Amino acid sequence: MRRWLAAVSITMAGVLGLAGCGGGSGGEASRSAAPSSGGGKQQVEVFSWWTGPGEADGLQAMKKIFEEKNPNYTFFDAAVAGGSGDKAKALLQSKLQANTPPDTFQGHAGAELQGYIKAGNLEDLTFLYDELKLKDVFPAQLVEQISVEGKIYSVPVNIHRSNVLWFNPKVLKDAGIAAAPKTIEEFIADLEKVKAKGKIPISVGSEWTATHLLENVLLGSLGTDAYNALFKPGADWSGPQMTKALENFAKIMSYAGDPQDDWQPAAKQVADGEAAFNIMGDWAYGYFHNPPEGGLGKTSKTDFDWAPAPGTEGTYMWLSDSFTLPKGAKNRDGAVAWLKVAASKEGQDAFNPKKGSIPARKDADQALYTDYLADALKDWSSDKLAGSIQHGVSVSQPWLASINEAVGLFIGSKDVKGLQQALADAAKANAQ
């Protein structure tokens, strides 16, 4: 708990310090020209939170394509470290308020972007969808999810799965566990078996990973339909089913190891055989699988394995990373050029195998997606769908902030009743 609270304090101090150093008076004059990087090239500032192994490799692969296709532009990587983007989003908000937006910024498709749209921060990208015929190559449900009143404000580069249970086969075998648990009840029993062997039953990272775990436990406990109903107006967050789900969450959290600084070191505990389980999105696959210069260089099915999070088999809890066009971007043309690469078959096929995600496009080269990613492509086409909480599909940023605050308080108090009341209050205040 102390480490998590300290991390929050450091993050906010860093954000305020960076915002204070931003300078600039805003206005049209200050954004009329893009910065030059020398040699007559203009910089295109791409703001993201992709700094870790796997995700950073994927971004660099798209950067290479961008600069080859656009020799007059140079890619400026404005990435801010921190899984799930909590630190990046805080800094981004300060830049938008200061009227100094990046040329393009990463955001999760879905409810996360609603605040930016309502604030008038984003340009409508329907023109780009029409020019590139993107509605023909993106799934209809995805286009619908990122549309607001018939307008589209982002370009999705991938589809991620949130509900993945990663595990170390040897640690499970040593604990007498024959296969990945399929239900929450089996999972809790297996956590106890691992604990008895002296290993970490489940590893966790920074505070947002606890909310990520929570959404998986809610889905696994409630079922898909009841989970999806939580985000509709008038949803019942106070009933006995939710109480049981939160009790499951509390029990699972009681088996967690010491919180790591972010999701990567928590995942590494599984790969190294220090921990049995970790529930994390499928971006972890790229980190496990990629060669040592960009990952851990581990062997699937031997050093690590995967299954749907307990209780969620047959459901794909999804999220999608996307890029936007902020109003007032200093290099609007360069940003549009970046969005075209992000939307392209070439760009997505370069990015996603390294990132550990599947393409948003329906026409990507399926031969590139093997091992875990082949499973994901198959499940995406057949599973029921549920939207992620932590990663922007199901709740707005203010709602998520309230959920994260409630989870943070719970980590210290272990008060299930208090957590449920806080979550019910957050839903009442934010569901529309």
- Give the pLDDT confidence score for residue 53 in this predicted structure: 75
Determine the Cα–Cα distance for residues 179 and 169; give it in Å rounded to an integer.
8
- Give the pLDDT confidence score for residue 40 in this predicted structure: 79
The pLDDT confidence band at residue 143, using thresholds 50, 70 and 90, is confident
What DSSP letter does each residue of 212-230 carry, written as one string? HHHHHHHHHHH-HHHHHHT
Please give the helix or strand (H or E) that residue 202 lies within, else none. strand 200-202
The pLDDT confidence band at residue 36, using thresholds 50, 70 and 90, is low
Please report, in angstroms and rounded to a whole number, the separation of the first and last CA atoms in the chain. Answer: 32
β pairing state of 315-319 and 384-387: parallel
Q: What is the average pLDDT value for the chain, to the nearest integer?
A: 89
Overall average pLDDT of the 135-155 stretch:
86
Torsion of CA 24, 25, 31, 36, to 10 degrees: -30
**pLDDT tens-digit readout, 310-322:** 999 999 999 999 9
Residue 131 has pLDDT above 80, yes or no: yes
Angle at 242 (CA atoms; ends 208, 84), nearest 5 degrees: 15
Neighbour-count burial of 221, counting CB atoms closer than 10 A to its CB (0-12 exposed, 13-18 middle, 19+ buried):
buried
Determine the Cα–Cα distance for residues 401 and 395; give it in Å rounded to an integer.
10
Residue 7 has pLDDT above 90, yes or no: no
**pLDDT tens-digit readout, 229-260:** 999 889 999 999 999 999 999 999 999 999 99
Determine the Cα–Cα distance for residues 132 and 314; give it in Å rounded to an integer.
33
| Backbone Cα Rg of the chain | 21
**pLDDT tens-digit readout, 348-369:** 999 998 888 999 998 989 999 9
Residue 193 has pLDDT above 70, yes or no: yes
- Give the pLDDT confidence score for residue 83 in this predicted structure: 64
- Give the pLDDT confidence score for residue 2 in this predicted structure: 35
Overall average pLDDT of the 77-90 stretch:
83
Overall average pLDDT of the 270-279 stretch:
98
Contact 14, 20 (CB under 8 A): no
The residue extents of the domains of the chain are 30-158+320-378, 161-317+391-430
Residue 25 has pLDDT above 50, yes or no: no
How large a percentage of the chain has pLDDT more than 90? 74
- Compute how many other C-beta atoms are within 10 angstroms of the C-beta atom of residue 417: 10
- Give the pLDDT confidence score for residue 257 in this predicted structure: 98
- Name residue 147's beta-bridge partners: 152
- Token pair 């909480």 is found at 389
3-class secondary-structure state, position 340: helix
- Give the pLDDT confidence score for residue 133 in this predicted structure: 97
Q: Do domains 30-158+320-378 and 161-317+391-430 have the same CATH topology?
A: yes
**pLDDT tens-digit readout, 42-65:** 999 999 999 987 789 899 999 999
The pLDDT confidence band at residue 31, using thresholds 50, 70 and 90, is very low
The pLDDT confidence band at residue 35, using thresholds 50, 70 and 90, is low
> Looking at domain 161-317+391-430, what is its CATH homologous superfamily?
Periplasmic binding protein-like II (3.40.190.10)
Determine the Cα–Cα distance for residues 117 and 197; give it in Å rounded to an integer.
51
The pLDDT confidence band at residue 1, using thresholds 50, 70 and 90, is very low
Neighbour-count burial of 235, counting CB atoms closer than 10 A to its CB (0-12 exposed, 13-18 middle, 19+ buried):
middle
Contact 110, 394 (CB under 8 A): yes
3-class secondary-structure state, position 290: coil
Overall average pLDDT of the 66-83 stretch:
93
Give the range among 11-15, 72-76, 417-421 with minimum mean pLDDT.
Answer: 11-15
The single-letter DSSP state of residue 278 is E
Overall average pLDDT of the 73-98 stretch:
88
- Give the pLDDT confidence score for residue 37 in this predicted structure: 53
3-class secondary-structure state, position 395: coil
Residue 38 has pLDDT above 70, yes or no: no
Overall average pLDDT of the 307-335 stretch:
96
Residue 23 has pLDDT above 60, yes or no: no
How large a percentage of the chain has pLDDT more than 70? 90
The pLDDT confidence band at residue 84, using thresholds 50, 70 and 90, is low
Determine the Cα–Cα distance for residues 7 and 301; give it in Å rounded to an integer.
34
The pLDDT confidence band at residue 29, using thresholds 50, 70 and 90, is very low
- Domain range 30-158+320-378, CATH class: alpha beta
Residue 335 has pLDDT above 90, yes or no: yes
Residue 217 has pLDDT above 90, yes or no: yes
- Compute how many other C-beta atoms are within 10 angstroms of the C-beta atom of residue 17: 9
3-class secondary-structure state, position 311: coil
Give the range among 72-76, 96-100, 324-328, 381-385 with minimum mean pLDDT.
Answer: 381-385
